[in-house]
């Protein structure tokens, strides 16, 4: 059975949520374009973070990539996709820990 069919079968059985399917997007970082593969839930959360910051999604991805390359905060991530997942996790943790107004 192909991977897509297994995913569809698992999703139908309630094993894989719909937002867990990996989506590939082409993003401009500086002067070059790169493809980034993330689950839909991460793309959605990144878009919300970018909107809260008044940034475009591409600008936020570029910022995370610069931090990863510079060895700040996200240096443990082996690639951009991993750095973006860690960034989203960190943002969610910060918001959960913030005092409620």
Report domain extents, the chain.
3-97
Range 3-97 classified under CATH 1.10.3990.20: yes
Residue 82's contacts (CB-CB under 8 Å, 6 or more residues apart) are none
Tell me the pLDDT tens digit for each residue of 36-78: 999 999 999 999 999 999 999 999 999 999 988 888 766 677 7
pTM above 0.85, yes or no: no
Burial class (CB in 10 A: 0-12, 13-18, 19+), 23: middle
So what's the pLDDT on residue 33?
93
């Amino acid at each position: 059975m192909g991977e897509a069919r297994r995913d569809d079968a698992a999703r139908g059985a309630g094993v894989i949520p719909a937002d867990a399917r990996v989506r590939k997007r082409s993003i401009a970082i500086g002067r070059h374009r790169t493809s980034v593969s993330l689950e839909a839930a991460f793309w959605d959360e990144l878009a919300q973070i970018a909107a809260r910051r008044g940034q475009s999604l591409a600008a936020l991805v570029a910022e995370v990539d610069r931090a990863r390359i510079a060895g700040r905060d996200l240096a443990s991530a082996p690639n951009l996709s991993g750095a973006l997942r860690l960034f989203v996790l960190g943002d969610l943790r910060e918001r959960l820990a913030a005092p409620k107004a």
